[in-house]
Amino acid sequence: MPSIRLTTPSASYDIVIGAGLLRTLSSRLRKLTGGKPFRPFIVTSPEIWGLWSKQVLASFSEPPTVLFLPSGEAKKRLVSVELLAEQLAIAGADRDSLLLALGGGVIGDITGFLAAIYMRGIPFVQIPTTLLAQVDSSIGGKTGVNLAAGKNLIGSFHHPLAVLADTDLLATLPATELRSGLQESVKSAVIRDARLFRYMEQNADAILAGDATALTRVVTASVRVKADVVGQDELENGLRMILNFGHTLGHAIESATKYRQLLHGQAVGWGSIAAAELSLARGTITQAQFNRIVALILLYGPLPRFTARAETLVALTGSDKKKRSGRRAFVLATGIGLTDVVYDVTDAELLTAAEAMLTRVKSTRT
């Protein structure tokens, strides 16, 4: 069973990848806490709990306390954190309590932030149930919620004790959720892993069919990319910014469509195409490399159509949290598996890239 160690100046923990992890959850938690007494609190959605509660409960001698949060990006707000914190307090949660984030990226981000601030910090464990969360959002210690002004503008760095990525959970994902998550793996391949890029090019049928071996390989390679990057730059002061490839315009697309028309990975897919357009325009990649990048993104589509003006998308990047001293950080592809972060992308360049991407959107069949 693959286990990847993530080590940063402030934390060190394992990301365990494999089948059947829920069945051994309680014993794994005891090992993580060093045998010390702990009281588990599970934060999840009603839908996820309905699918996996039997497997979770079977591993505990006494049932854990379950806190429910409706699914969806709209719930990723401070009010949700306050409601969950009130429930913890009423239930008697203290500093020996252990939060378990059982869900996708929204559940993971909210639970991590709640763990960071409840009683000034309690431990938590990530149990991601979506491919996107397993390969990206559950790893690296970023937690937080959205503001009306922008995505993830409130939050903190708070690492989990561990990430338990049970690949059995991927079997129940709708095809659109699976493909959305695979866009983050495509991103990992584009920015830092040419071997993963080739594997995803050559094994798309098996991956998209949900083949366990193929998916485990993709998840493991994607996790290794993120763990390596975060290990070198925990607080996103430099290298870690490459993980935002496709996210500058991807987040703008989500905001412009009110988080209702596209899944996160789908928005990142379109944002990655725009980033590739800008990279081609700047000459940091060749036409052949551009064609391969775009083809791989579309291979793991289809990406849905949406309506937005290029000027609106560029304006929305103004509130992006990746800005430094008023300068927009932008991640360019410099090859297959290579990237660079630049701070001199102009609005005019970004507008041209957004317009080229939107032209593709209009011609997309859904």
- 264, 277, 292, 328: the catalytic one is 264
Tokens 């979770």 belong to 56
- 247, 254, 277, 292: the catalytic one is 247
- 177, 234, 236, 277: the catalytic one is 236
The CA R_g of the chain, rounded to the nearest whole Å, is 20
- 28, 226, 292, 328: the catalytic one is 226
- 151, 179, 217, 251: the catalytic one is 251
Extended beta strands in the chain, E state: 3-7, 12-18, 39-44, 65-68, 97-103, 124-128, 142-147, 150-157, 162-166, 330-335, 338-342
- 244, 254, 292, 328: the catalytic one is 244
Q: Give the DSSP per-residue string, 80-108.
A: HHHHHHHHHHHTT--TTEEEEEEESHHHH
Instruction: Please check whether residue 50 is in contact with residue 103, taking contact to mean a CB–CB distance below 8 angstroms.
Output: no
- 110 DSSP β-pair partners: none
Instruction: Please check whether residue 60 is in contact with residue 26, taking contact to mean a CB–CB distance below 8 angstroms.
Output: yes
Cis peptide leading into residue 302 (ω within 30°):
yes
**Residue among 346, 343, 339 at smallest CA distance from 329:** 343
> Is 159 part of the annotated catalytic residue set?
no
> Is 86 part of the annotated catalytic residue set?
no
> Is 142 part of the annotated catalytic residue set?
yes
> Around 315, how many Cα atoms within 13 Å sit in the side-chain half-sphere?
7
> Is 184 part of the annotated catalytic residue set?
yes
Q: Which two tokens stand for residue 123?
A: 């431990």
Q: Is 129 helix (H, G, I), strand (E, B) or coil?
A: coil
Tokens 């357009």 belong to 277
Which residues have a Cβ under 8 Å from the Cβ of 304 and sit 6 or more positions away? 261, 262, 266, 364, 366
- 146, 179, 184, 234: the catalytic one is 184
Instruction: Please check whether residue 342 is in contact with residue 334, taking contact to mean a CB–CB distance below 8 angstroms.
Output: no
- 36, 62, 120, 365: the catalytic one is 120
- 76, 142, 151, 224: the catalytic one is 142
- 179, 240, 292, 328: the catalytic one is 240
> Is 247 part of the annotated catalytic residue set?
yes
Active site residues: 120, 142, 184, 226, 236, 240, 244, 247, 251, 264
